[in-house]
Amino acid sequence: MGIGETMEAPKDICNLLLAWYAENKRDLPWRKNPDPYSTWISEMMLQQTRVETVIPYYYRFLERFPTVSVLANADEEEVLTAWKGLGYYSRARNLHLAAKIVQEKYQCVFPNSYQALRLLPGIGDYSAGAILSIAFNQPFPAVDGNVLRVISRVICLEGDISEAAVKKKIRQIVSDLIPEGRAGEFTQALMELGAILCLPQNPLCADCPIRVYCLADKNGRQDCIPVRRQSRPPANLDYWVAVVRKDNDILMQYREHTGLLGRMWGLPMAVKNPVVKPEKEFADQLGLNLQKVKSLGNTKHVFTHQVWNMEAIELMPEESRNDLPQGFAWIPLGKIDQIPIPKAFQKIFELGNYM
DNA sequence: AACACGTGGGT
DNA sequence: TACCCAAGTGT
């Protein structure tokens, strides 16, 4: 800093960041009118999900559920159907539940305090900070993956960012940085920097507005930071998936309450077993005599912690019976896009050209 | 603290 | 290909 520079670093960082943001921010739909409801919806959708993925869901969702009241009074199944394909379906259930709470407890006026927001299901520390700063311009830090990356690089922090103590430290730093009266812009500027310049791999440091303040860049550590403990490799599972077809109906299963894809509609599955034929396995499971029509081929679906290697088998019931075991139902092909079916099973339908 | 919880895009 | 990891939360 030269003589006559009275600006302190924190303030300078904020000014550079805000000026850069004003020039370079993306034109995102939820930035048009950051009211509490639409900010909340966008934040729930954006959890662990890319902006480009969220955009079409965001438009459709707000069109169908334009207010807290409409959302609160909708059927859960319709909310889940609107969420279909986005993943992490507990977000949709929590969203629906939270809307009911906002309606009952706050007469549909979205709460604007940290304590009240944190009590709503689906709103954790990050989302509370994001909603308070973006929708209410209150000086709360919102520390997401972007901010963790930006700040850990700026201070050249070599500690593991998945540790609570490290997150806490970064939250404090961000909190101290928030400029007076500009919390919303600042939150978004920090995240935007992480999203478009301070990238996980090959950050574009040459274009960074706060490069002069970045200690990782100064030390040549920008490619090593942030440090994150590596996750356990996913388990590999081999399944048969049954497509039992009766005229235009497909036999589907409402999945059990808990666990992966719980309370979503799926297809009957069985762990592959080399000493049993799939038609026999599914016949036992479904209480139907089944005939194998053909194998529809294999497809893979990757979750964070599991990989499903699926062989889809088309089967035909040998007799027409209507008493199915608990949780199973015949669903007309044309109705399938109106019920919540996760991507893993959508892939099976595509494999067999059913849709 | 560590893991479950979806999906997709980038390298 | 395989791996990383994304505007995280709940348990």
Our measurement of CA A323 to C1' B10, in angstroms, reads 48
In a domain, A151, yes or no: yes
Nearest Cα to A293, choosing from A310, A312, A306, A272?
A312
* Residue reference for tokens 């199973």: A328
pLDDT of residue A300: 95
pLDDT of residue A232: 86
Q: What are the tokens at A257?
A: 């309450």
Domain range enclosing A344:
235-351
In a domain, A230, yes or no: no
pLDDT of residue A2: 37
Q: Where residue A200 sits, what CATH number does that domain have? A: 1.10.340.30
User: Is residue A59 domain-shared with residue A179, that is, in the same domain?
Assistant: yes
In a domain, A55, yes or no: yes
Count the Cβ atoms, other than its own, within 10 Å of residue A341: 23
User: Is residue A79 domain-shared with residue A180, that is, in the same domain?
Assistant: yes
User: Is residue A61 domain-shared with residue A155, that is, in the same domain?
Assistant: yes
Least confident of A44-58, A76-90, A320-334: A320-334
Closest nucleotide C1' to the C-alpha of A308: B6
Closest nucleotide C1' to the C-alpha of A50: C6
- Distance of alpha carbon A216 from alpha carbon A82, whole angstroms: 42
pLDDT of residue A1: 41
Our measurement of CA A257 to C1' B11, in angstroms, reads 37
Give strand C nucleotides closer than 7 A to any protein Cβ.
3-10
User: Is residue A173 domain-shared with residue A95, that is, in the same domain?
Assistant: yes
User: Is residue A49 domain-shared with residue A74, that is, in the same domain?
Assistant: yes
Which one of A188, A218, A248 terminates a domain?
A218
User: Is residue A84 domain-shared with residue A177, that is, in the same domain?
Assistant: yes
User: Is residue A34 domain-shared with residue A149, that is, in the same domain?
Assistant: yes
pLDDT in tens, A3-45: 334 568 889 999 999 999 999 999 999 999 999 999 999 999 9
User: Is residue A198 domain-shared with residue A259, that is, in the same domain?
Assistant: no
In a domain, A226, yes or no: no
pLDDT in tens, A167-217: 999 999 999 999 999 999 999 999 999 999 999 999 999 999 999 999 999
Catalytic residue among A5, A23, A43, A281: A43
Our measurement of CA A23 to C1' C11, in angstroms, reads 42
Our measurement of CA A41 to C1' C10, in angstroms, reads 19
Closest nucleotide C1' to the C-alpha of A130: C7
Which one of A153, A188, A218 terminates a domain?
A218
Residue scoring higher pLDDT (A352 or A335): A335
Q: Is the CB of A257 under 7 A from strand B?
A: no
pLDDT higher than 90, residue A352: no
Our measurement of CA A71 to C1' B4, in angstroms, reads 27
Q: Is the CB of A52 under 7 A from strand B?
A: yes
Please spell the DSSP secondary structure of A294-318, one letter per residue: EEEEEEEEE-SSEEEEEEEEEEEES
User: Is residue A127 domain-shared with residue A79, that is, in the same domain?
Assistant: yes
Mean predicted confidence (pLDDT) in A283-299: 95
In a domain, A85, yes or no: yes
pLDDT higher than 70, residue A63: yes
Q: Where residue A340 sits, what CATH number does that domain have? A: 3.90.79.10
Q: Which residues touch strand C (CB under 7 A)?
A: A 28, 30-31, 42-43, 46-51, 88, 90, 94, 121-128, 130, 144-146, 149, 188, 191-192, 194-195, 200, 228, 230-231, 233, 304
Active site residue A43: yes
pLDDT in tens, A127-150: 999 999 999 999 999 999 999 999
Q: Work out the pLDDT band at A354, boundaries 50, 70, 90.
A: confident
Nearest Cα to A249, choosing from A170, A174, A326, A334?
A334
How far lies A171's CA from each of A96, A140, A144, A153, A177, in Å? Answer: 29, 9, 10, 14, 10
Total domains in chain A come to 2
User: Is residue A253 domain-shared with residue A159, that is, in the same domain?
Assistant: no
